[in-house]
Amino acid sequence: MKQLGTITVIGRDKTGVVARVTSFLFEQKANIEALEEQVTRGQFSMTIQASWKTGQLRLDTVKDGLARLAQALAMEIGFHLSEANRKLRAAIFVTREPHCFEGLMRGFRDRTLSQAEPRLVVANRSDLEPLAGKFRVPFICVDWNDRVKAEARALALLEEHAIDFVILARFMKILSPTFVWRYKNKIINIHPSLLPSFPGPQAYRQAYEHGVKIMGVTAHFVSMHLDEGPIIAQESFRIRPQMSLKQIVAAGQGLESKVLVRAVSLFLKKRLDVYWGIVKQV
């Protein structure tokens, strides 16, 4: 049995960061299982998946050492330890549409998503607070008018509740690259089109105005580029002649929660591997 941990490093790009962090982990008897780094407009981001053999992890030493490294490098370094034999903790982000949120909660209740538990609902509106109360999940409304402050608050909540992954259940706000990198390939979104067609808002209207004959929905990991993250699952429906926009939206919404729950289930069963931006089922 081994212990797994995720280290995230974020800050202004500079020389030697990878070497200093990995050297420290090697000194702490860690095995580097995966490492991904990226520089975007001078912003450096790195995610490391590390493991320790049973009995070799000195948690306080690792945390203290990473804190000292963060200070020395003037960067943010986070460490998240995956506890064995416990359910993953999910945070669900919502705005005001209830169908995906309800579908997820039914999945948790009927054991479709038995490997996880919903620990927190974060919203930028208060519309779904009664529904969260019905399912007995803590609901916190965050004012999203200032995205920097809102994301800082949301990240603090995720840390406080020890959240492992995030589900965007028709959450109608764009997350910044800085937010996304902290949960690399751990944020799952549902989009109302067959991506890469019709990214962005008003996807159903775009499809209607373009006269497409097949429409659908896409569940994907969130990346730093809007609606371009690795695709997990898709499903489609035919647009019949004379269908109104309202009818198209209704048909699409009937698939959204189904596909989102399927994507979360695949994630929880550890059947997804992201390779060069493409999700492969394993």
Where in the sequence numbering do the catalytic residues fall?
Answer: 227
Rounded to 10 degrees, the C-alpha dihedral 137/154/187/256 comes to: 50
Cα–Cα distance between 138 and 165 in angstroms, integer? 16
Best CA proximity match to 175, nearest among 231, 218, 117, 227: 227
The pair of three-digit structure tokens given for residue 264, joined into one six-digit string: 């979360």
DSSP E strand stretches across 181-276? 187-191, 214-221, 231-238, 272-275
The pair of three-digit structure tokens given for residue 246, joined into one six-digit string: 């309202």
Asked if residues 217 and 251 have their Cβ atoms less than 8 Å apart, the reply is no
Cα–Cα distance between 2 and 84 in angstroms, integer? 9
Cα–Cα distance between 149 and 28 in angstroms, integer? 35
Asked if residues 87 and 117 have their Cβ atoms less than 8 Å apart, the reply is yes
